[in-house]
């Protein structure tokens, strides 16, 4: 599971609180990394529609109920670290795999997790642990991610912006405009990804190197993007992401419906029905939804019996 000698300092906690992200150096055991790699290699497939076109392979719902991934949630050291960093009671919601092909895939441009945290309200807490499954050399072949401190610019407004799109686009379509996927894509991405904004965010971004076993934790408001895998020895880069939500998060039906619009209108489908299935009533506690009956306990990060000295 996690390495027995892994610990976080008060400075780490402060950095995470200030910036919204933290590199977790040598957190995961070799066996767990091997397992994440096996899971991702066997399940992640080429994108089948407009969503995730920037990846050679991408898949949502990888290992959501996998026994070894759920064992990690039961690791009291892991729970204790997550509790200390986030000060939240969390549960594991979803796993995802991403593959970039050398010199080809661009991955995701600047964004936040509007899809992965699309079932919960804007203010509900959400976190990702992103684990690259090969070496990432920031000064070399690259292929990792870039992220911007929340102290400089929080991406919270992007969760508001995305919900404006369906109403506007429907009204445009009703007045006779012929809207395409390209129109949707420009509306969704240009706020953060005009050439000027891309340079601005790139300028302020952090890009780390990673060795196997290292991971990055970031909260749902951290602006981030994929970095292309350039020339070098590695032909493709796989990464496995774990998403976590607060047990207090509530289902946001309006947000889920807003995400359904481009899926139907523009073949823009994350390939996951997770947001639609995870609960049903607006305002219901997602954690208590029948969807998690049977695995609720296994996916909960316990704070009660966690060791104090981490």
Q: Does 226 bind ligand AKG (CB under 6 A)?
A: yes
C-beta of 57: minimal distance to ligand AKG in Å?
11
For residues 59 and 43, is the Cβ–Cβ distance under 8 A? yes
128 part of the interface to ligand AKG, by CB under 6 A: yes
If one asks whether residue 239 binds ligand AKG (CB under 6 A), the answer comes out as yes
* Residue 84 beta carbon to ligand AKG: minimum distance, rounded to whole angstroms: 22
| Other CB atoms within 10 Å distance of the CB of residue 181 | 14
Give the shortest CB-221-to-ligand AKG separation in angstroms.
12
- Give the span between the Cα atoms of 196 and 52, in whole angstroms: 23
Q: How many CB atoms lie within 10 A of CB 230?
A: 13
Among 28, 110, 119, 130, binds ligand AKG (CB under 6 A): 130
- Interatomic CA distance for residues 237 and 12, integer angstroms: 27
The interface mask with ligand AKG, positions 95-124, x = CB under 6 A, is ---x--------xx----x-----------
State the minimum distance, in angstroms, from the CB of residue 76 to ligand AKG. Answer: 25
What span, in angstroms and rounded, lies between the C-alpha atoms of 115 and 256?
A: 9
**Position 36 contacts ligand AKG (CB under 6 A):** no
CA angle 53, 55, 58 (to 5 degrees): 100
Q: Which is nearer to ligand AKG, 50 or 76 (CB)?
A: 50
Tell whether residue 63 is a contact of ligand AKG (CB under 6 A): no
Binding residues for ligand AKG, rule CB under 6 A, total 11
Strand segments (E) across 107-222: 126-132, 145-147, 215-219
Distance CA 130, CA 239 (A): 7
Which residues in this chain contact ligand AKG in the complex, by CB under 6 A?
98, 107-108, 113, 128, 130, 145, 224, 226, 239, 241
């Amino acid at each position: 599971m996690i390495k027995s000698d892994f610990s976080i300092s008060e400075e780490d906690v402060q950095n995470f609180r200030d910036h919204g992200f933290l590199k977790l150096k040598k957190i995961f055991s070799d066996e767990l990394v091997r397992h994440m790699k096996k899971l991702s290699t066997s399940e992640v497939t080429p994108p089948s529609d407009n969503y995730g076109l920037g990846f050679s392979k991408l898949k949502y719902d990888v290992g959501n109920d996998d026994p070894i991934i759920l064992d990690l949630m039961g690791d009291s050291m892991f729970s204790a670290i997550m509790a200390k960093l986030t000060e939240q009671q969390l549960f594991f919601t979803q796993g995802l795999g991403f593959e970039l092909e050398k010199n080809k895939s661009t991955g995701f441009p600047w964004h936040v997790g509007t899809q992965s945290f699309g079932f919960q309200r804007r203010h509900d807490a959400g976190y990702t642990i992103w684990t690259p499954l090969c070496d990432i050399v920031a000064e070399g072949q690259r292929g990792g991610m870039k992220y911007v401190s929340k102290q400089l610019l929080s991406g919270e407004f992007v969760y508001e912006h995305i919900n404006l799109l369906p109403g506007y686009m429907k009204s445009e379509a009703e007045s006779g405009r012929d809207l395409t996927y390209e129109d949707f894509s420009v509306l969704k991405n240009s706020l953060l990804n005009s050439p000027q904004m891309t340079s601005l965010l790139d300028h302020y971004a952090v890009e780390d190197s990673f060795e196997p076993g290292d991971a990055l934790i970031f909260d749902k408001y951290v602006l981030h993007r994929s970095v292309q895998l350039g020339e070098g020895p590695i032909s493709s880069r796989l990464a496995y992401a774990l998403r976590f939500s607060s047990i207090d998060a509530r289902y946001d039906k309006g947000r889920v419906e807003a995400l359904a619009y481009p899926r139907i209108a523009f073949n823009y489908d994350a390939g996951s029905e997770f947001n639609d299935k995870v609960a049903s009533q607006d305002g219901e506690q997602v954690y208590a939804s029948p969807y998690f009956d049977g695995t609720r306990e296994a996916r909960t990060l316990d704070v009660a019996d966690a060791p104090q000295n981490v």
